[in-house]
Chains A and B, each alone.
Chain A
Amino acid sequence: MAAAEQLPDEIADVAVEEEIASRIQASILPGEIDVEGLEIAAGMVPTEKVGGDYYDIIPVDDGCWIAIGDVAGHGLAAGLIMLMIQSTLQGLVMLSPQASPGDLICALNRVLYENIRRRMKRDEHVTFCLVRYWADGRIAFAGAHENLLVCRASGDVEVLTPSGAWLGARSDVRKVTADKTAQLFPGDAMLLFTDGVVEARDERGEQLGEEGLRQLLQRVSSGGPTAIRDGVISAVRDWAPALDDDVTVVVVRCQGIYWCG
């Protein structure tokens, strides 16, 4: 039934669902997080209809885990799935802080598949990327999501493409999930983002695109994570007269690295 054909009670129900989902989305965000050697700034601009964006930063003894994702779907189901992702991931990290991103993603996928497909009888799926950061600047990452952009202290921007599959769509994603690694050095900034950033459309319908974002990152990278986050969000707002998807940005700048060996 199209929205225009919905009865008043149904419209009210949808509005209540959206409100609940919106509260879930906001309530599971990590807030201020301290991680050794990293400056962190993150922000989410939700649309009126919850777009399904999610991010998390989980500190561990020798670094942190950084997650970003997008539930394909809206409303209460999307909110519930975000909550599942957040709580399952938190539990997995606490149980196995030294696991690889690929291992945790495969375990998370099994939980999501079981819950979404078998119990909820729904067809949502999740784009998701998980990054492990170590205090010596190494990162490992996996998943199926937007690329990671790393702006080096020199100003060069590198594109890191995670490898994986949508979560919740099939019972086992092991075969297509692979860990990749990179090294962050002091002064480097890494940008994680959701599709709402690069798919924002201007008045002519043109998307900002990854290349546009890459150029933008080069322009704003000297200002630190907060300036990068604000610069990206502001540019997306300027680009798109109206946002039709959540916009989420996570920026980490490596300020220091330690060699513990």
Chain B
Amino acid sequence: MVKKVLVVDDSETIRQQVRLTLAAAGYAIIEAVDGIDGLQKIRLNDDLALVISDVNMPRMDGLEMVVELQKQGYPVPILMLTTEGQVALIQRAKAAGAKGWLVKPFKPEILGTAVSKLVRLAEGR
């Protein structure tokens, strides 16, 4: 079965880069433009293998979205993909339940490896 990955990012360019990278690896990609849109897409797709989310976005940022998902008990693993590298933010994401943190600009092979690792880990739960 094709695995679905939700990409939450307000940058069309980043969503396209992620889409191209992961589609080539056989994933089906769903897109959202901010945290609120991301939450809606997660509610509509209960079979997501992974969520990849930016941090800085309008309306609802990625960390707020992760906190909200944790509150609501969604088990989907989350990988943060951001230009941010502040230790405090990374620790907040970890405490909120994110499973990984990757910095932009990213190398496609590093994103591919991160996604397959986190999907594999989630399947082994």
Q: Are A258 and B99 in contact (CB under 8 A)?
A: yes
Encoded as 1 (CB less than 8 Å from any A CB) or 0, chain B from 66 to 109 comes to 00000000000000000001010010001000111111001101
Please give, as numbers and ranges, the residues of chain B lying within 8 Å of A185 by CB-CB distance. Answer: 85, 87, 90
Q: Are A258 and B103 in contact (CB under 8 A)?
A: no
Q: Tell me how far the C-beta of B7 lies from the nearest C-beta in chain A, rounded to whole angstroms.
A: 16
Q: Tell me how far the C-beta of A228 lies from the nearest C-beta in chain B, rounded to whole angstroms.
A: 16
Q: Are A153 and B85 in contact (CB under 8 A)?
A: yes
Indicate whether A37 reaches chain B with its CB closer than 8 angstroms: yes
Indicate whether A36 reaches chain B with its CB closer than 8 angstroms: yes
Please give, as numbers and ranges, the residues of chain A lying within 8 Å of B117 by CB-CB distance. Answer: 36, 135, 258
Indicate whether A73 reaches chain B with its CB closer than 8 angstroms: no
Q: Tell me how far the C-beta of A63 lies from the nearest C-beta in chain B, rounded to whole angstroms.
A: 12
Q: Are B85 and A257 in contact (CB under 8 A)?
A: no
Q: What total of chain B residues lie within 8 Å of the partner, measured CB to CB?
A: 19
Indicate whether B2 reaches chain A with its CB closer than 8 angstroms: no
A230 to B7, CA, bound (A): 35
Q: Are A255 and B94 in contact (CB under 8 A)?
A: no
Indicate whether B57 reaches chain A with its CB closer than 8 angstroms: no
A227 to B98, CA, bound (A): 31
Q: Are B99 and A256 in contact (CB under 8 A)?
A: no
Please give, as numbers and ranges, the residues of chain A lying within 8 Å of B107 by CB-CB distance. Answer: 39, 255
Q: Are A187 and B100 in contact (CB under 8 A)?
A: no
- For A37, give its contact among B87, B90, B99, B114 (CB under 8 Å): B114
Indicate whether A43 reaches chain B with its CB closer than 8 angstroms: no
A109 to B62, CA, bound (A): 49
Please give, as numbers and ranges, the residues of chain B lying within 8 Å of A186 by CB-CB distance. Answer: 85, 90, 101-103
Supposing A185-B85, A186-B90 touch, asked if A255 and B118 sit within 8 A by C-beta, the answer is no
Which A141-176 residues have a C-beta within 8 angstroms of B?
A: 153
Q: Are A258 and B85 in contact (CB under 8 A)?
A: no
Encoded as 1 (CB less than 8 Å from any B CB) or 0, chain A from 232 to 259 comes to 0000000000000000000000011111
A81 to B20, CA, bound (A): 47
Supposing A39-B107, A186-B85, A187-B103 touch, asked if A256 and B94 sit within 8 A by C-beta, the answer is no
Q: Tell me how far the C-beta of A182 lies from the nearest C-beta in chain B, rounded to whole angstroms.
A: 13
A258 to B107, CA, bound (A): 16
Supposing A36-B114, A185-B90 touch, asked if A257 and B100 sit within 8 A by C-beta, the answer is yes
Report the nearest B residue to A258, measured CB to CB.
B100
Please give, as numbers and ranges, the residues of chain B lying within 8 Å of A10 by CB-CB distance. Answer: none
Supposing A34-B109, A36-B117, A260-B121 touch, asked if A255 and B102 sit within 8 A by C-beta, the answer is yes
Indicate whether B24 reaches chain A with its CB closer than 8 angstroms: no
Please give, as numbers and ranges, the residues of chain A lying within 8 Å of B94 by CB-CB distance. Answer: 259
- For B114, give its contact among A39, A153, A258 (CB under 8 Å): A258
Please give, as numbers and ranges, the residues of chain B lying within 8 Å of A258 by CB-CB distance. Answer: 99-100, 114, 117-118
Supposing A36-B117, A187-B85 touch, asked if A256 and B90 sit within 8 A by C-beta, the answer is no
Sample 10 A-B pairs with CB under 8 A, ordered by A number: A34-B113, A36-B113, A185-B85, A185-B90, A187-B85, A188-B85, A256-B110, A256-B114, A258-B118, A259-B94
New A-B pairs, 7, CB < 8 Å, besides A34-B113, A255-B106, A258-B118? A36-B113, A36-B117, A37-B114, A186-B102, A256-B102, A258-B99, A260-B99
The 6 tightest CB contacts between A and B, nearest first, are A187-B85, A256-B102, A153-B85, A258-B100, A186-B103, A36-B113
